[in-house]
């Protein structure tokens, strides 16, 4: 993990934040990018858009061959502005629709297809290739998308805490949510995401693992800012351990 100049000559600071759903990852990654004045990319949203396209085409997400055909040409536009979530599919703003239970239920199958991943990983690397600070949030950023990122963090928390947070988030956003159902879905999605053959969910060997179960968002954010600033200062000799 080292800080080098990017193609524009601006020092590069690529921050990979991985982990399962419900760890506060999205809020933290977005807030961190804002705090550092950097760009932000929600890679989970990209898999969700691919899933929406598959569902709109009437295709079963488990039918890998049909999924590949339906998502090969994905008319998606995704911004890297930390201050606004704007994701378009064929020109239509789908930022709410990609969060529905229907899309969430299909996304593990779609994101397990290697061809879908190759397509989206290429796009993610292009979006992260400028100079300056960029925060990428996902499941395989530190292991596959940017294995040489300057900062790699893996956020985790117990399934019960993650299900409680997800339920509260959904209710606050006006979506239906039942804790027991959310918990079952969290456990099932973890199982699928971490046992799939293509880029399974796991911490990179050199990632800093932060268990957020007993921490507030602000406490985690402070740690992330300190890690990012440490990467600035170290310019090449990141001597962090891999647990915190
Ligand atoms: O973070 P999220 O819940 O929006 O992600 C949706 C799904 O996309 C998740 O079940 C796993 C998948 N995903 C992935 O496989 N790789 C990523 N880099 C990001 C998300």
For the segment 135-186, what is each residue's pLDDT rounded down to a tens digit? Answer: 999 999 999 999 999 999 999 999 999 999 889 988 998 888 899 999 998 8
Residue 241: predicted pLDDT = 41
Mean pLDDT calculated for residue range 94-100: 94
Judge whether 8 is annotated as a binding position: no
Taken in order 177, 180, 183, 187, the sign of the CA dihedral is negative
Whether 150 is in the pocket of ligand 1, judged by its Cβ within 6 Å, is no
| Nearest residue by C-alpha to atom 18 in ligand 1 | 138
Residue of the CA atom closest to atom 20 of ligand 1: 44
Query: What's residue 176's pLDDT?
Result: 86
Residue 44 CA to ligand 1 centre (angstroms)? 4
Is there a contact between 62 and 197 (Cβ–Cβ < 8 Å)?
A: no
Asked whether the predicted pLDDT for residue 112 surpasses 80, the reply is yes
113-149: pLDDT as tens digits: 999 999 999 999 999 998 899 999 999 999 999 999 9
Atom 14, ligand 1: residue with shortest CA distance: 139
Residues 141, 143: Cα–Cα separation, whole Å? 6
Residue-level pLDDT at 234 = 57
Contacts by 79-84, CB closer than 8 A, 24 or more apart: 80/39, 80/40, 80/41, 80/127, 80/134, 81/39, 81/40, 82/30, 82/31, 82/33, 82/34, 82/38, 82/39, 82/40, 82/135, 83/34
97 Cα to the center of ligand 1, angstroms: 15
Q: What is the pLDDT of residues 195-242, one digit of tens each?
A: 888 888 899 999 999 999 999 999 999 999 999 998 766 544 443 444
Ligand-binding annotation for 236, yes or no, is: no
Predicted pLDDT at 232 = 67
Looking at every residue in the chain, the average pLDDT score rounds to: 89
Q: Hey, whose CA ends up nearest to atom 1 of ligand 1?
A: 44
């Amino acid at each position: 993990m080292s800080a080098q100049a990017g193609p524009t000559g601006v020092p590069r600071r690529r921050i990979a934040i991985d982990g399962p759903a419900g760890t506060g990852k999205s809020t933290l990654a977005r807030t961190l990018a804002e705090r550092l004045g950097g760009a932000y990319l929600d890679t989970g949203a990209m898999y969700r858009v691919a899933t929406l396209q598959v569902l709109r085409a009437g295709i079963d997400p488990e039918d890998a061959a049909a999924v590949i055909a339906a998502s090969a040409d994905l008319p998606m536009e995704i911004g890297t502005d930390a201050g606004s979530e704007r994701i378009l599919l064929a020109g239509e703003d789908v930022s709410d629709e990609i969060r529905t239970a229907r899309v969430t239920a299909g996304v593990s199958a779609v994101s397990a297809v290697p061809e879908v991943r190759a397509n989206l990983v290429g796009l993610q690397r292009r979006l992260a290739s400028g100079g300056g600070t960029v925060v990428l949030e996902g499941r395989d950023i530190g292991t596959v998308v940017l294995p040489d990122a300057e900062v790699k963090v893996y956020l985790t928390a117990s399934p019960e805490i993650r299900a409680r947070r997800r339920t509260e988030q959904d209710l606050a956003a006006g979506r239906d949510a039942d804790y027991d159902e959310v918990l079952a879905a969290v456990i099932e999605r973890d199982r699928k995401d971490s046992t799939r053959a293509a880029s399974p969910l796991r911490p990179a060997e050199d990632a800093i693992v932060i268990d957020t179960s007993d921490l507030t968002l602000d406490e985690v954010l402070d740690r992330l800012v300190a890690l990012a600033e440490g990467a600035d200062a170290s310019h090449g000799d990141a001597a962090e351990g891999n647990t915190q």
